[in-house]
Amino acid sequence: MLRFIATRFGMVIPTFLGVTLVSFSLIRLVPGDPIELWVGERGIDPERHAELLRQFGFDRPLWEQYLGFLGDLLQGDLGKSIVTQQPVLSEFLTLFPATIELSLTAMMFALLVGLPAGIIAGVRRGSMFDHTVMTVSLAGYSMPIFWWGLLLIILFSGTLGWTPVSGRISVLFYFEPVTGFMLVDSLLSGQPGAFKSAFRHLILPAIVLGTIPLAVIARQTRSAMLEVLGEDYIRTAHAKGLPPLRIIGLHALRNALIPVVTIIGLQVGLLLAGAILTETIFAWPGIGNWLVNSISRRDYPSVQGGVLLVACVVITVNLLVDLAYGLINPRIRRAGGS
C-alpha cells in the first residue's frame, strides 16, 4: 500500500509542474495587452506604456518571468493582482469558501438525487422510470448552464417568487464573515432569518451547478448496476434465496460503486468549471466569477495563481479518490504499485 501511495504522490509533482507551465503560458497566449485593456479608448503614450510594463515585470523575457513565478511560488507568494494590487492568495482565500459551499451543496444534490435514480433505473431496466431517468439525465447533461440558470431564475424567482434571484444572502443582513461559509456564518450571527435567507439563496445555484454531475452520476450508476446485476455471484445470491434488497444493497451496490466513486472524483473538476458560469449568473462571489474577470482584464498574476490553486484542489481531490479507489479495490492497489 505504501508503494502505491508513493507512486501516486510521485505523479503529483510532475503534474503540478505541468500545471504551473500551463497556467503561466495559457493566459499569455491569449492576445491582448493588459495595459491597453486597462486604459481603453483613452490610450496611453508609448513611454508610459513601457514604464508600466517594466513596473509589472512584463518587459522581461517569458522564461525569466516564468522562473520568477516559480521562485516566488516556492516561497508561497503568488504575486499581486495588477488590477487591485492585492495578493492573489488572499483574494483567492477570501472567495474560495463561497465556491466550496456552492460546489459541495451542488454535489450533495447530485448524489442525493443521482445515486438513487441510477440504482432504481438499473434495477428496473426498461421500465417507465428507467426511460424517464435516462431522458431527463440526457437533457440535464446537454443543457447549457447559462440558459438553464436564467430559465430557473425567471420561473422560480421572477414569476413564482419562491426563491431569491441572486447573491448569497439578503443584502439586508449584515455581519462580518467568520468562516466564509454563509450557512455557518448566518447561524453564528444569531440573526433571526439569516440562515433561512442563506439557504434559500443556495437552492437555485446548487440545482444549476449540480445538474450535470447529477446526470452523469445517474447514468454511470445505472450502467454500473446493470453490469454488476448480470454477474454470476448475483445470480448465485438470487439462487440462494437472499432477499432482493440485500442483494442490491450489499452485493450489487458495493461493487457498482467502484466506478461511480471515480466518476464522482472527476466531477470535482467539472463542478469548478461549471461554477464559473453559475457564479456569474447568480452573482455568487466565488473564484469562478473572479477568474472570469481576471481573464478578461488579462490580470496575469491572478489568472496564473488562480488556475494553479484550482488545479491543486482538483489534483488533491483526484489523489484522494485514487487512494480511496486503491483501498476499495486491491487489484488497483497492486497494479499501481508494480
Partner 1 sequence: MKHRILMAAVSIGATVAFSAAGSAKTLVYCSEGSPEGFNPSLYTSGTTFDASSRHLFNKLVEFERGSTKIAPGLAESWQASKDGLLHTFRLRRGVKFHTTKNFTPSRNFNADDVLYSFQRQHDPNHPYHKVSGGTYEYYQGMSMPSLIKDIVKIDDYTVQFVLNQQEAPFIANLAMDFASILSAEYADQMLAAGTPEKVDLEPVGTGPFQLVQYQKDAVIRYKAHPDYWAGKAPIDDLIFAITKDASVRYQKLKAGECHVMPYPNPADIAAMQDDPDINMLQQEGLNVGYLAFNVERKPFDDKRVRQALNMAINKQAIIDAVFQGAGKAAKNPIPPTIWSYNDATKDYPYDPQAAKALLTEAGAAGLKTNIWAMPVQRPYNPNARRMAEVIQADWAKIGVEAEIVSFEWGEYLKRSKNGEHDTVLLGWTGDNGDPDNFLYVLLGCDAAKDGTNRARWCHKPFNDKLIQAKQTSNVAERTRLYEEAQLIFKEEAPWVTIAHSVVFVPVRKDVVDYRIDPFGGHAFYGVDLK
Query: Cβ closer to partner 1: 67 or 154?
Result: 154
Name the segment binding partner 1 (CB under 8 A); options: 207-215, 229-237, 278-286, 329-337. Answer: 278-286
Binding test (CB under 8 A) with partner 1, winner from 18, 32, 71, 244: 32
Map grid coordinates 500551463 to a residue. Answer: 22
Binding test (CB under 8 A) with partner 1, winner from 157, 184, 199, 258: 157
Q: Which contacts of 264-267 are long-range, i.e. CB under 8 A and separated by 24 or more positions?
A: 264/107, 264/111, 264/213, 264/217, 264/321, 265/317, 265/318, 265/320, 265/321, 265/322, 266/318, 266/321, 267/107, 267/110, 267/213, 267/216, 267/217
Binding test (CB under 8 A) with partner 1, winner from 1, 50, 283, 335: 283
Report residue 322 as a C-alpha cell: 485514487
Q: Write the CB contacts of 134 (distance below 8 Å, at least 6 apart in sequence).
A: 121, 219, 222
Give CA–CA dist 112/331, Å, rounded.
Answer: 29
Name the segment binding partner 1 (CB under 8 A); options: 16-24, 157-165, 248-256, 329-337. Answer: 157-165
Q: What ranges make up the beta strands (E) of 200-272?
A: none
Interface with partner 1, residue 9, by CB under 8 A: no
Interface with partner 1, residue 26, by CB under 8 A: no
Task: Report the half-sphere exposure of 94 (CA within 13 A, side-chain side).
Answer: 10
Name the segment binding partner 1 (CB under 8 A); options: 42-50, 103-111, 241-249, 303-311. Answer: 42-50
Interface with partner 1, residue 282, by CB under 8 A: yes
Report residue 30 as a C-alpha cell: 491569449
Map grid coordinates 444572502 to a residue. Answer: 169
Give CA–CA dist 312/314, Å, rounded.
Answer: 5
Q: Which residues, numbered 48-77, are part of the site for partner 1 (CB under 8 A)?
A: 48, 52, 55
Q: How far is the CB of 181 from partner 1 (least distance, A)?
A: 13
Query: Cβ closer to partner 1: 38 or 66?
Result: 38
Binding test (CB under 8 A) with partner 1, winner from 40, 61, 76, 241: 40
Instruction: Write the single-letter amino acid at 174.
Output: Y
Q: How far is the CB of 202 from partner 1 (least distance, A)?
A: 14
Cα 279 to the chain's mean position, in Å?
A: 11
Interface with partner 1, residue 88, by CB under 8 A: no
Interface with partner 1, residue 20, by CB under 8 A: no
Give CA–CA dist 38/175, Å, rounded.
Answer: 34
Q: Say how many residues touch partner 1, by CB under 8 A.
A: 69
Give CA–CA dist 214/140, Å, rounded.
Answer: 8
Map grid coordinates 445470491 to a residue. Answer: 237
Instruction: Write the single-letter amino acid at 119.
Output: I
Report residue 258 as a C-alpha cell: 467502484
Query: Cβ closer to partner 1: 103 or 280?
Result: 280
Interface with partner 1, residue 29, by CB under 8 A: no
Name the segment binding partner 1 (CB under 8 A); options: 62-70, 217-225, 248-256, 285-293. Answer: 285-293
Binding test (CB under 8 A) with partner 1, winner from 3, 17, 71, 84: 84
Q: What is the largest CA-CA distance in the chain?
A: 86
Name the segment binding partner 1 (CB under 8 A); options: 12-20, 63-71, 168-176, 225-233. Answer: 168-176
Q: Write the CB contacts of 52 (distance below 8 Å, at least 6 apart in sequence).
A: 35, 44
The radius of gyration computed from the CA coordinates of the chain, to the nearest angstrom, equals: 24
Binding test (CB under 8 A) with partner 1, winner from 25, 116, 127, 175: 175
Residues at the contact surface with partner 1, assessed by CB under 8 A: 30-34, 36-46, 48, 52, 55, 80, 82-85, 91, 94-95, 98, 150, 153-154, 157-158, 160-168, 170-178, 188-193, 197, 200, 280-283, 285-286, 289-290, 293, 298
